[in-house]
Structure 1
C-alpha cells in the first residue's frame, strides 16, 4: 500500500534543490559563471548540483543551521538562524553583498535562491541593530502576517532585499535560479527579492523558477495514480489563518469521494505572547484532528516541504479521526500543538529535505 509518507517523499524529491537545478540547466544550459552564491534552506542542494556542472567556480553557500551536510568541500559555507535572524545572518548578508560588489566588469554571477533567505542573509540599513531586526521579525511572525506583508516590511530595512543586492553588481550578466516558497512564484517575493534585479540595471538578467508547490503536487498526484489511487482535490488554497484552513479542508474531505486529496500553500498563525512548541503545520494538523474527530477511514499528513515547521525539528504531523482528545484544545490555546502531538507519536520528522516549496496537506480517504 502507498502510504502518505511515500506520497510526501515523492513530492519533495521532485522539487529537491539538486534535482531542480540539474534539470533546469540540462534543459537550458548557461555559460560557466564567475561566481555562484546560494542562499536559503535549499542552498546546499542547489549549490551541489551547480558545482557538478561548474567545479572551478568559487561557491558561497548561506543556509540554515544543520542544513549544510553534503556541501562541496571547496565551498565557503555560512550557517545562520531561521525564522528569526541572528549574528550569523548579518555576517552572511554582509559577506554576500561584499562578494557581489567585488565582481569584475564583464563577469557572470549565478544566484541560487530558496525560501528562508530573508532571515538567513541580512545587511541592515538605516543604522538598525540586530536586536531591532529580531524584535521586528518576532512581531511579524506572531501577528499572522502573510509572506507578502512580511517581505515588504523586511525590504525597507535591508541593503540586500528587493533587488538591492544586484543593484550593487557591476558585472555583465546574472542568472538567478529560484525555488518558490510563495504564492504566485514571484521572484520579487521569494527571499524578499534577494535574487531579483533592480528596476534599472546595465547587466543582462535571466531568472527561472526551477521548483514550486505545483510541481511537488504534480509528483504526488502521479505517484498516487501510478499506485492505482484516485486523486480528487488538488488545490493550492492554504492561504488563510490555520483555523479557517482547517474548517475548509475538513469540510471538503468529509464530502469527498474515496482517494487521495491534495492541498498546497502556506497558512498563517497568530501566536500568544509566550507560545509553546510547534509551527503552523503542527497547529493545522491538531486543528484538523479536532475537525475530523470520530471520522473513520480518513488520514491526513500536514507538513512543510523543507522538513522543518517553525522553530522545531518536525516537518508537521500525521493525524486521523482517533487522534483528537479534549486536552488538545488547551494545547491549541497555548500554541503548543507540537508537544501535544509528540506525546501521542503523531509528529512527522524528515530532517532537512533540500527544498522549500511551502506546505503540503495530503489526505487519504477510504
Structure 2
C-alpha cells in the first residue's frame, strides 16, 4: 500500500469513528428510544453542546426554552439561528469571566423550572471549564491558577475534575439539586475513563438529590468509536492487529507502549483509545498532548516504511490549538528542523504544521477522549 493511500484510509477511519459518536446522531437515537413526552426545557453544556441540542430538537416541546453553553467557535452551525436557544460561548481548557457568567445562567435556568417542567440536560466534555459558579471565598484568578497548575503538571482528567468539584457550587450533582420540576433526563457523551456520569463535566449532569425524578444515561463513548473503526477497517480488508483502551499515563510512556505493540505485531490496523497526560515546561509552545504523542511516535518509527500513524482528539482540538493531532510516518522526523527541540519545548504542533503532518478536522460535534490509529504494512 502506498503511503498516501494509508494516510487517506486512516483519516477516513478516524472520521467514521467520530460519526459513530457524533452528538446530534447520538442524542436523536437516544431520545427516539425513550418515547416519552416532549421536554419543555433543555440545558446543553460542553464542546458538543450545539450538535447535541440539534439532535434533541424533534423531541422538544414547540415552545421550549433552551440554554446552550459551548466553547468559542463551536456554535457556527447555521441551523441554530432558527431555534429559541440562548447560546453562550466561553473558554476551554482554562475558565474565564464568560465561564462564570455561563455558570450563573445555568443555575438560574434550572432554578426557574416550575413544577410542570420536564428538563433535558445534555453534557459533553469541556463542561467543567465552560460553566462555573465558584464557592464563596474563591476568586476566578485562584481558580484559573489551579486549572493551569493541574493541566501543565500532567494531572489526568479525573484528578482535575475532583479539584474542580471541591470549589464549585454547580458540579458534583449540585446544579440539578436546584431542579423542582417534573422530571430530568441527562444524556452524556463520555470523555472519561469508566464512562462515569459523575465525572463527566465534573458531574454537572449528575444529581445529588434523591428526591428528584432523575435519570442519567451515557449515549456515546470511546469504545463505541473504536468499535466502529474496527468494523469499518475489516470491511476495507484490514486484519486487526490490536484494539484497546490503553492511552493512559504520560505521553512518553504511552508512545513506548504503543511502539512495542505494533513492532511485535502482525501487519494490519491498530486502534487505541483513552487520554494520555503531558507535563508542560514553562512557557510551552504550540500543541497539546496529541501532537506531542504524534511526534514522539514519529521519533520511534523514523525511517520505517511500514507504519503510518494517526493521533487525534475526537473533539477536533488539541490543547489550545485548532488542530486535532498529527498524521505521521517514517519520514516525519526529518521534514522540519529541530524535532527534539520541539518536543522539549512542547512545540510539537508547530513542528507538525511545518512538516505538513498536522491533523485538522474542525469541531466535530463530539468528545470521547483521544484515538490512535496505525496501519502496519508487510513491506
Q: Which TM-score bucket, shorter chain as reference?
A: over 0.9
Match among 89, 94, 100 for residue 99 of structure 2:
89
1:51–1:57 contact (8 Å) kept in structure 2: no
1:42–1:114 contact (8 Å) kept in structure 2: yes
Aligned to 1:349: 360
The aligned length equals: 365
Q: Report how far residue 72 of structure 1 moved.
A: 4.9
Query: SS of the residue aligned with 1:56?
Result: strand
1:1-366 equivalences under 5 Å are 3-54=9-60, 55-70=62-77, 71-73=80-82, 74-198=84-208, 200-325=209-334, 327-366=338-377
Query: Which stretches in structure 1 are left out of the alignment for 5+ residues?
Result: none
Query: SS of the residue aligned with 1:36?
Result: strand
Cα distance in structure 2, aligned partners of 1:50 and 1:272: 42
Cα distance in structure 2, aligned partners of 1:202 and 1:245: 44
Q: Report how far residue 34 of structure 1 moved.
A: 2.0
Q: Report how far residue 175 of structure 1 moved.
A: 0.1
Per the normalisation by structure 2, the TM-score is 0.94
Query: Which stretches in structure 2 are left out of the alignment for 5+ residues?
Result: none
Cα distance in structure 1, aligned partners of 2:254 and 2:190: 21
Deviations 1:326-345 (CA, angstroms, capped at 9, x unpaired): 72111111011001111100
Q: Report how far residue 130 of structure 1 moved.
A: 1.5
Cα distance in structure 1, aligned partners of 2:30 and 2:267: 36
Deviations 1:73-128 (CA, angstroms, capped at 9, x unpaired): 32100000100011111110000000101111242211000000000000111232
Cα distance in structure 1, aligned partners of 2:26 and 2:35: 13
2:241–2:269 contact (8 Å) kept in structure 1: yes
Per the normalisation by structure 1, the TM-score is 0.98
1:172–1:202 contact (8 Å) kept in structure 2: no
Q: Report how far residue 305 of structure 1 moved.
A: 0.3
Q: Report how far residue 50 of structure 1 moved.
A: 0.6
Q: Report how far residue 56 of structure 1 moved.
A: 2.8
2:188–2:197 contact (8 Å) kept in structure 1: yes
Deviations 1:58-84 (CA, angstroms, capped at 9, x unpaired): 111000001012235321000001000
Cα distance in structure 2, aligned partners of 1:262 and 1:217: 7
Query: SS of the residue aligned with 1:164?
Result: coil
2:241–2:262 contact (8 Å) kept in structure 1: no
